[in-house]
């Protein structure tokens, strides 16, 4: 049995919000009986793009994380809801019944991802229903998939075994895996959102001018052991990425031909740019 | 002769049958016939033959000969001509020639003659079927937004969704580029910009104007109360009253004051289409009526038009370069792209949706080996998407950085000496300036560091890498200009120095060019379809690109304005309030046209007393716009009419408001990103050429009407309707434009209007347009497909060389030697901004440099406000309390210094005004720089306009109106000096423009409190 999943590549999301807008276009002022009552024009973000800025000027980067109903296979909302209010379809999609769920505001608390939204006017808990009404009519993709210019958001219908293989082969992750809800929304390059870096710019004075040092050997030490090594680029820049936030003490050691080595100690909280480092 | 009469009579008899048949078959046409009761006759004057038609309550009676009580007479000179012109298909050239030669006359009341002509036309089109029928009673139409083409799904008269277009099996295959052992092909679908996907929400916006309205305290026969514009409420009036009022004022202005007394001001953009566009229907209307033009500055190209043209020509493209073939050349040969004040991921190529994004994503393929560098004060959306070194010069200073790069190239011999020797002139003069030989100041990396804040070592590193690699320099969003730093106070210098850097590295060599993959796709540019700047139905061969090709292809009555009075747009408030202004023209024909100063008022012309305003964007798109508020409240403006879709911006300053509908409620035809004119072959931005029939998907909301309808009705009151619309309906013009293009050879009309779109097949590989400037580098005749420069602008042999006097890239510009201008010396020199870190006391008072680039989500004011979906995007607006505030981004430490935290409400202000925004502290800006998009659609003063803070987010209230230089009509307001403080909730703030008014008010108050004047 093939089932629906979403695969999101964090590194390719540009925050254009086309998925968010396409979803509003589909649900605001439109009722899809059996699938969804109209989405309010404001206040709901069925597809919600979070952002994460790392580093300090001028060594920074920014990543975006589109989030939505995870269509969990072990969905806490289904457990919390009276029988028949929320159903899991054979194709993996979770639907909050737009009639039976009326008045059940407590379902908002059941979702650990904050992706059940309260429709004040209709007194209805709502979530993104995977555009199931369109897929059932033969649409090949969700609105978000269709609107995404970079392919950062893809809706794929595959066997669960195939999805597991994809996830492992391509390093896909789910958000907050410790909740064990078995989300059907997977992320590539999630580290851009969850992990941090140590970077710096190596410079040296020569012939009266300060210049960038290219090719300096830079090593990262932890507990006395070298855990990573890189070389500085033509701007003297180096970066060690995919480190855990608040992971403690690191030592950065910089060596370049004809120069005395420099070492710097870093207590890593979030991403840290060490600035200009003269050797 | 006998034969001609018989044939003519037969056709006239057939017309009765046609009218009755159409009424029987098509309810809409039957309804149309019931609109008027009249007797019309069509006659041949020579033979005296003819036929009359009596239309009464929807029924048609007819008889041969003339009718004694005819209301309408259409008279051909003779029967042969009548038969010829009435036999389909209509030959439009013969038709208008007959009118010009007075062989075809129309007599009768304008309303009836025009209605009758339109009705006959409508009888031919009543059976046309638009759209594709889907299940569940849904019809799928097509349309075009400024942000890309859409499928429009309609059910029961309501738009339910809009999506991008996914191509079908019958659509052609896209192009493929082979580069470095790989193949690159774009997907078979269209993309949308955020404001395109937002369209449904602005069609059904609660801010739609649904009825004509009049300001409550405006009495055309008595007190007009201009001082209350922007304050008073409105009352609903009928179309009849509104149209009579507007037409009456037009007549009064012309009769009482003379030519020039009416001005028309429109925005730079409109809802998409070739017929309903401002360069089309509006220009035909304003020319027919005779209005003073508000002459636009070259908007987003300022530095390129006023600066770069002197180095390399390209006046056709407003100073930007040709771009053909650059996608292929870049992917195949380039090693590095330097994005310089270039953020295509935010500006979407203006009309190019996310098409460039698709291509730039290929740069992430490490196998291509194309490195990316970003130079921008803001870590912009393109830097976010395409990782690379970010260099952040202070706003307005990167000219110095560019000069330091050139300095390093000279010192370290990292430029193409041979090319400079053979393809350029004047290098030694500029070189002497860079080395400090002429002014004693060497333009070293250390020198630039003091100006830009960018470390000298980084500039040296960039210069060295650049000098050793094949580099595409990408200034501005289009990669060859447009937007970016060309709109700030040093924009002219910046555009000039960008050209100079390109000239030093051998512009046109493989892998060395301008671009960032936004333009230069290998499409078919020999397939003709006009762009919006080609003038549509304007008949205007002076102010549109119509003479290039469309005028011959779609013959139409020419429209020439009798008045030559112009107001330079930047100085519009001064022109109205002070009664005079001076400007410099934007004309694409030659370099020298920009030197022809013009003055307002024009000799012998009446000053402007009536304003016909189209839409409401100026308050948030011009600069220091409290000046505009003052202008509107001036008694020099006796009458202001605003024709607008939404109740926003300046629409709230009008005396009479005419509600227009959107492009989803009227018929039109257009090509995606088909700009024409100054944006020749703008389709180069796209992965596919897509031409769309813009079907009327729904009926106009409320009493709103198409611009075309409104103009027709006003023209009827001036006896101009038949001249304005040539007796045709909007839909007939759409078909006429279809016939004028190359479409009929590719698709039938019937199929086109049902399917809704046509994809022009990609060019065959061996026929692709050559690479830009390759001809120049190789010393060949120009071979890219653009008919420019004009033949007389070549200095020797036609097609050899550039538009400059020398025909070469000029470091020292001959045109600026011929036109001495201390602010634009023949070589580009660095002169710090007059509103920046070098501004002394002003900088101390307002220590933050505010950047106001184009928005990522809205298209200028389009899409913003209007209670649209965009309000929900936290990087666009954020809801605090019950209000959606504009975002102001500022450096984290600058924010902390001011005790400002995320989404705190802050007052962004200077002497020009104050705007309340929601703060967003960020590391994407260096210290001392803040960033908020221009073009908020909402202008929302919290008290008296001009005397209070605005909470709509109109940051252009704060930007300088001063032009970049005195002898240019160049906007310089892309940045300003401001201060930001936590907002204390107070609403009063006296703007510079209102200081006098405020002082008077204060004096009155003082006098009153001293009991020197009796209190009321």
Give residue-wise pLDDT tens across range A69-79. 999 999 999 99
CA atoms of B467 and B414, how far apart (whole Å): 5
DSSP state of B787: -
Nearest CA-CA partner of B378 in B963, B920, B962? B920
**Residue tagged active-site, from B71, B171, B299, B416:** B299
The pair of structure tokens assigned to B89 is 């298909």
Share of chain B above pLDDT 70, in %: 99
B515: confidence class by pLDDT, cuts 50, 70, 90: very high
Q: Which residues pair with B89 in a beta bridge?
A: none
Sorted by sequence, the CB contacts under 8 Å of residue B631 that are 6+ apart come out as: B572, B573, B576, B577, B637
Cβ contact (<8 Å) for A17 and B194? Answer: yes
Averaged pLDDT for residues B761-781: 98
Gap between the Cα atoms of B693 and B737, Å rounded: 11
DSSP state of B83: H
Instruction: Decide if B381 and A15 are in contact by the 8 Å CB cutoff.
Output: yes
Q: How far from A126 is each of A32, A101, A144, B64, CA to CA, in Å?
A: 13, 9, 18, 70
Residues A90 and A58 in one domain: yes
Same domain? For A101 and A224 the reply is no
Cβ-proximal residues to B113 (8 Å cutoff; 6+ apart), any chain: B72, B74, B106, B107, B721, B722, B727
Which residue of chain A comes nearest to B873, CA vs CA?
A: A17
The CA distance from B922 to the nearest CA of chain A, in Å, is 8
CB atoms A42 and B871 under 8 Å: yes
* Look-up of token digits 């098509």: B26
Query: How much is the average pLDDT of B249-255?
Result: 98
- Tell me: ipTM over 0.85: yes
- Pair A236, A121 in one domain: no
Q: What chain B residue is nearest to A271 in terms of C-alpha separation?
A: B923
Q: Of B621, B540, B673, which Cα lies nearest the Cα of B267? A: B621
Residue B552 neighbours by CB distance under 10 Å: 11
In b/e form, how buried is each residue of A22-40, taking b as 16+ CB within 10 angstroms? bbbbbbbbbebeebbbbbb
The two counts, helices (H) then strands (E), for chain B are 34, 38
Element (H, E) at A48: strand A48-56
Closest Cβ–Cβ partner in A55, A146, A234 for B163:
A146
Report the C-alpha gap between B796 and B794 in whole angstroms.
Answer: 6
In this structure, of A10-14, A89-93, B328-332, B988-992, the range with the lowest mean pLDDT score is B988-992
Q: Does residue B797 have a pLDDT over 70?
A: yes
User: CB-CB: which of B194, B345, B867 is closest to A18?
Assistant: B194
Residues A188 and A269 placed together within one structural domain of the fold: no
Interchain CB distance below 8 Å, B872 and A234: no
Q: What is the mean pLDDT of residues B382-410?
A: 98
Residue of B nearest to A210 (CA): B457
Closest CB to B354: pick one of A149, A234, A237: A149
Give the CATH number of the domain where residue A40 resides. 3.30.70.20
pLDDT of residue A19: 98
Tell me whether residues B390 and A209 touch, CB distance under 8 A.
Answer: no
Is A111 buried (19+), middle (13-18) or exposed (0-12) by CB count in 10 A?
buried
**CB B183, CB B177: distance < 8 Å:** yes
Long-range contacts of B854-857 (CB under 8 A, 24+ apart): B854/B300, B854/B346, B854/B347, B854/B477, B854/B483, B854/B933, B854/B934, B854/B935, B855/B346, B855/B933, B855/B934, B855/B935, B856/A16, B856/B194, B856/B345, B856/B346, B856/B347, B856/B381, B856/B933, B857/A17, B857/B194, B857/B195, B857/B198
Contact B476, A245 (CB under 8 A): no
CB pair distance less than 8 Å for A56 and B194: no
For residues A137 and A226, membership in a common domain is answered with no
Local confidence band at B1015 (pLDDT 50, 70, 90 cut-offs): very low
Q: Residue written as tokens 């090593």?
A: A219
Q: Identify whether residues A22 and A128 lie together within a single domain.
A: yes
Tell me the average pLDDT across B628-652: 97
SS3 of B864-887: CCCCCHHHHCCCCEEEECCEEEEE
* Count of domains forming chain A: 2
pLDDT at B999 over 90: no
Task: Return the pLDDT at B1016.
Answer: 45
Name the pTM for this structure: 0.97
Quick check: B194 and A21 CB within 8 A?
A: yes
Kindly list the distances between the CA atom of residue B657 and the CA atoms of B135, B518, B940, B951, in Å, as whole numbers in the listed order.
40, 39, 19, 24
User: How many whole angstroms from its chain centre is CA B417?
Assistant: 40
Cis peptide before B89 (omega within 30 of 0): yes
Last residue of a domain, one of A178, A193, A208: A193
Q: How far is B198 from chain A (nearest CA, A)?
A: 6
Domain boundary among A163, A193, A223: A193
pLDDT at B1011: 66
The predicted model gives B411-431 an average pLDDT of 98
Domain ranges, residue A175: 3-193
Q: CATH number of the domain at A236, please.
A: 2.60.40.10
Tens of pLDDT, residues B694-712:
999 999 999 999 999 999 9
Task: Report helix, strand and coil shares of chain B as percent, to nearest 5.
Answer: 35, 20, 45
Q: Do A212 and B925 touch (CB under 8 A)?
A: no
**Could you please report the per-residue DSSP string of A143-167?**
HHHHH-SSS-EEEEEEEHHHHHHHH
User: Residue A178 CB: number of other CB atoms within 10 A?
Assistant: 5
Residues of A in contact with B345 (CB under 8 A): 14, 16
Instruction: Kindly write down the DSSP assignment for every residue of B354-419, as one continuous string.
Output: THHHHHHGGGG-GGG--EEEEE-SB--HHHHHS--EEE-PPTT-HHHHHHHHHHHHHHTT-S-HHH
B532 annotated active-site: yes
pLDDT value of position B557: 96
What residues have CB less than 8 Å from B228, skipping those under 6 apart? B215, B217, B633
Active-site entry in B269, B314, B374, B969: B269
Most confident of A256-260, B616-620, B827-831: B827-831
Active site annotation includes B269: yes
**3-class SS at B686?**
coil
Q: Which residue has the tokens 């608040």?
A: A246
pLDDT tens figures, B907-922: 999 999 999 999 999 9
Residues A13 and A139 in one domain: yes
Q: CB under 8 Å to B89, separation ≥6 — which residues?
A: none
d(CA A172, CA A185): 10
Residue of A nearest to B164 (CA): A147
In this complex, how many residue pairs, one in chain A and one in chain B, have their CB atoms less than 8 Å apart?
133
Catalytic residue among B53, B141, B234, B532: B532
Q: What are phi and psi of B695, to 5 degrees?
A: -70, 145
User: Residue B717 in contact with residue B244, Cβ under 8 Å?
Assistant: yes
Closest CA to A179 of A273, A107, A74, A89: A74
- Within its chain, how far is the Cα of A214 from the centroid? 33
Q: Does the annotation mark B903 as catalytic? A: no
Low-confidence ranges of chain A (pLDDT < 50): none
> What percent of chain B stands above pLDDT 90?
95
Instruction: Please tell me the predicted confidence (pLDDT) of residue B869.
Output: 98
Give the separation between CA A37 and CA B157, rounded to whole angstroms: 20
Q: Quick one: A106 and A228 in the same domain? A: no
Q: Mind telling me how many Å the CA of B468 is from chain A's nearest CA?
A: 12
Enclosing H/E stretch for B494: helix B491-505
Q: What share of chain A is helix, strand, coil (3-state, %, to 5)?
A: 20, 40, 40
Domain endpoint, select from A166, A193, A220: A193
CB–CB of B592/B814 below 8 Å?
A: no
Peptide bond between residue B489 and the one before it cis (omega within 30 degrees of 0)? no
Kindly state the tokens that stand for B840: 């002394």
Confidence of residue B1008 (pLDDT cuts 50, 70, 90): confident
Whether A94 and A211 share a structural domain? no
State the number of CA atoms in the 13 A half-sphere of B15 facing the CB.
30
Please check whether residues A76 and A202 belong to one and the same domain: no
Rounded distance between C-alpha atoms, residue B1013 and residue B1016, angstroms = 9
Q: Shortest CB distance from B191 goes to which of A57, A149, A235?
A: A149
| Contact between A61 and B384 using a beta-carbon 8 Å cutoff | yes
B267 to chain A, closest Cα gap in Å: 25
- Are A184 and A201 members of one domain? no
CA pair distance B78, B929, nearest whole angstrom: 74
Q: Is the pLDDT of residue B1010 over 80?
A: no
* Whether residues A189 and A204 fall in one domain: no
pLDDT at A14: 97
């Amino acid at each position: 049995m093939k089932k629906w999943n979403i695969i999101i590549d964090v590194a390719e999301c540009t925050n254009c919000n086309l998925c968010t807008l396409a979803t509003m276009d589909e649900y605001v002022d439109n009722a899809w009986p059996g699938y969804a009552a109209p989405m309010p024009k404001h206040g709901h973000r069925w597809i919600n793009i979070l952002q994460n800025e790392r580093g300090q000027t001028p060594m920074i980067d920014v990543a975006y994380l589109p989030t939505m109903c995870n269509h969990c296979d072990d969905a806490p909302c289904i457990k919390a809801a009276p029988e028949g209010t929320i159903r899991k379809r054979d194709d993996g999609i979770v639907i909050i019944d737009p009639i039976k769920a009326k008045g059940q505001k407590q379902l908002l608390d059941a979702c650990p991802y904050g992706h059940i939204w309260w429709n004040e006017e209709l007194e209805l808990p709502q979530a993104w229903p995977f555009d199931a009404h369109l897929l059932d009519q033969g649409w090949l993709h969700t609105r978000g998939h269709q609107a995404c210019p970079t392919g950062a958001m893809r809706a794929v219908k595959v066997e669960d075994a195939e999805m597991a293989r994809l996830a492992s082969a391509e390093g896909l992750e789910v958000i907050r895996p410790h909740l064990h809800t078995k989300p059907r929304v997977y992320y590539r390059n999630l580290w851009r959102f969850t992990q941090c870096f140590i970077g710096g710019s190596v410079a040296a004075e020569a012939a009266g001018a300060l210049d960038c040092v290219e090719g300096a050997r830079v090593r990262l030490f932890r507990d006395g052991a070298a855990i990573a090594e890189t070389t500085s680029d033509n701007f003297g820049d180096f970066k060690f990425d995919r480190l855990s936030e608040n992971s403690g003490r690191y030592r950065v050691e910089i060596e370049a031909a004809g120069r005395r080595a420099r070492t710097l100690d870093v207590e890593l909280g979030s991403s840290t740019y060490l600035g200009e480092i003269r050797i | 002769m006998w034969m001609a009469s018989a044939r003519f009579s037969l056709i006239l008899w057939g017309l009765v049958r046609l009218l009755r048949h159409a009424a029987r078959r098509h309810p809409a046409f039957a309804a149309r016939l019931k609109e008027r009761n009249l007797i019309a006759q069509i006659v041949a004057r020579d033979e005296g033959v003819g036929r009359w038609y009596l239309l009464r309550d929807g029924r048609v009676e007819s008889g041969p000969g003339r009718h004694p009580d005819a209301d309408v007479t259409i008279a051909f000179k003779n029967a042969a001509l009548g038969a010829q012109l009435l036999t389909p298909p209509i030959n439009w050239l013969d038709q208008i020639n007959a009118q010009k030669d007075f062989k075809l006359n129309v007599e009768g009341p304008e309303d009836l003659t025009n209605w009758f002509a339109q009705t006959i036309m409508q009888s031919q089109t009543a059976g046309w079927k638009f759209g594709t029928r889907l299940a569940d009673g849904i019809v799928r139409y097509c349309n075009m937004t400024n942000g890309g083409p859409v499928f429009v799904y309609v059910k029961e008269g309501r738009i339910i969704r809009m999506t991008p277009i996914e191509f079908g099996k019958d659509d052609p295959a896209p192009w493929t580029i082979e580069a470095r052992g790989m193949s690159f092909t774009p997907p078979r679908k269209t993309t949308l910009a955020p404001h395109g996907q937002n369209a449904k929400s602005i069609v059904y916006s609660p801010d739609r104007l649904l009825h004509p309205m009049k300001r409550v305290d405006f009495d055309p026969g008595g007190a007009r109360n201009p001082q209350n514009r922007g304050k008073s409420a409105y009352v609903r009036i009928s179309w009849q009253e509104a149209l009579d009022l507007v037409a009456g004022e037009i007549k009064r202005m012309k009769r009482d004051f003379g030519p020039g007394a009416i001005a028309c001001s429109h925005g730079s953009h409109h809802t998409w289409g070739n017929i309903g566009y401002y360069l089309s229907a509006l220009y035909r209307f304003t020319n027919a009526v005779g209005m003073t033009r508000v002459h636009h500055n070259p908007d987003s190209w300022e530095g390129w038009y006023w600066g770069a043209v002197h180095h390399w020509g390209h006046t056709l493209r407003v100073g930007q370069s040709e771009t053909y073939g650059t996608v292929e050349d870049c992917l195949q040969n380039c090693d590095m792209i330097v994005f310089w004040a270039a953020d295509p991921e935010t500006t979407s190529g203006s009309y190019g949706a996310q098409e460039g994004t698709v291509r730039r994503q290929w740069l992430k393929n490490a196998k291509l080996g194309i490195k990316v560098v970003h130079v921008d004060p803001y870590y912009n959306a393109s830097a976010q998407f395409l990782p690379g070194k970010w260099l952040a010069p202070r706003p307005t200073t990167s000219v110095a950085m560019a000069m330091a790069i050139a300095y390093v190239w000279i010192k370290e011999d990292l430029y193409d000496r041979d090319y400079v020797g053979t393809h350029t002139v004047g290098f030694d003069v500029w070189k002497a300036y860079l080395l400090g030989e002429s002014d004693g100041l060497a333009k070293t990396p250390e020198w630039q560091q003091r100006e830009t804040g960018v470390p000298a070592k980084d500039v040296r590193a960039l210069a060295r890498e650049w000098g050793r690699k094949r580099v595409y320099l990408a200034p501005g969003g289009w990669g060859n200009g447009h937007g970016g730093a060309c709109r700030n106070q040093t924009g002219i210098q910046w555009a000039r120095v960008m050209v100079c850097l390109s000239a030093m590295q051998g512009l046109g060599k493989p892998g060395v060019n301008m671009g960032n993959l936004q333009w230069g796709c290998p499409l078919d540019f020999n397939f003709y379809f006009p762009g919006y700047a080609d003038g549509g139905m304007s008949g205007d061969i002076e102010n549109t690109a119509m003479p290039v090709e469309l005028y011959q292809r779609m013959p139409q009555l020419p429209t020439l304005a009798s008045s030559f009075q112009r107001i330079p747009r930047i100085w519009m408030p001064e022109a109205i309030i002070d009664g005079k202004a001076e400007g410099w023209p934007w004309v694409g024909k030659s370099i020298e046209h920009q030197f022809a100063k013009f003055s307002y008022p024009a000799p012998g012309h009446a000053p402007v007393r009536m304003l016909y305003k189209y839409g409401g964007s100026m308050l948030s798109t011009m600069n220091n716009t409290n000046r505009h508020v003052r202008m509107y409240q001036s008694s020099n403006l006796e009458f202001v009419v605003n024709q607008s879709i939404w109740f926003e911006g300046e629409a709230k300053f009008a005396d009479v408001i005419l509600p227009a509908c959107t492009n989803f409620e009227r018929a039109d035809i257009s090509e995606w990103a088909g700009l024409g004119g100054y944006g020749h072959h703008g389709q180069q931005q796209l992965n596919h050429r897509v031409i769309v029939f813009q079907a009327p998907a729904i009926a106009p909301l409320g009493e709103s009407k198409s611009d075309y309808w409104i103009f027709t009705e006003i023209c009827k009151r001036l006896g101009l309707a038949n001249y304005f619309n040539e007796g045709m309906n909007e839909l007939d013009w759409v078909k006429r434009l279809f016939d004028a293009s190359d479409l009929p050879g590719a698709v039938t009309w019937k199929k086109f209007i049902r399917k809704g779109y046509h994809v022009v097949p990609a060019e065959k590989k061996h026929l692709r347009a050559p690479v830009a400037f390759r001809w120049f580098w190789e010393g060949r005749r120009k071979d890219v497909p653009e008919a420019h420069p004009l033949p007389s602008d070549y200095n020797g042999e036609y097609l050899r060389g550039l538009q400059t006097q020398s025909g070469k890239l000029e470091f020292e510009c001959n045109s600026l030697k011929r036109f001495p201008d201390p602010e634009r010396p023949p070589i580009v020199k660095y002169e710090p901004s007059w509103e920046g870190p070098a501004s002394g006391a002003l900088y101390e008072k307002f220590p933050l440099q505010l950047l106001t680039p184009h928005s990522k989500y809205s298209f200028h004011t389009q899409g913003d406000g209007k209670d649209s979906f965009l309000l929900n995007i936290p990087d666009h607006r954020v809801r605090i309390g019950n209000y959606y505030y504009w975002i102001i981004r500022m450096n984290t430490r600058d924010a902390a210094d001011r005790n400002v935290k995320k989404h705190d409400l802050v007052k962004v202000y200077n002497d020009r005004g104050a705007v309340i925004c929601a703060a967003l502290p960020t590391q994407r800006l260096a210290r001392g720089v803040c960033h908020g998009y221009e073009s908020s659609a909402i202008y929302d003063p919290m008290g008296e306009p001009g005397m209070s803070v605005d909470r709509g987010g109109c940051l252009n209230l704060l930007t300088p109106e001063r032009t970049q230089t005195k002898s240019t009509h160049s906007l310089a307001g892309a940045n300003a000096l401001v201060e930001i403080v936590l907002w204390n909730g107070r609403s009063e703030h006296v703007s510079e423009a209102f200081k006098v008014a405020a002082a008077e008010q204060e004096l009155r108050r003082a006098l009153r409190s001293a009991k020197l004047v009796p209190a009321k």
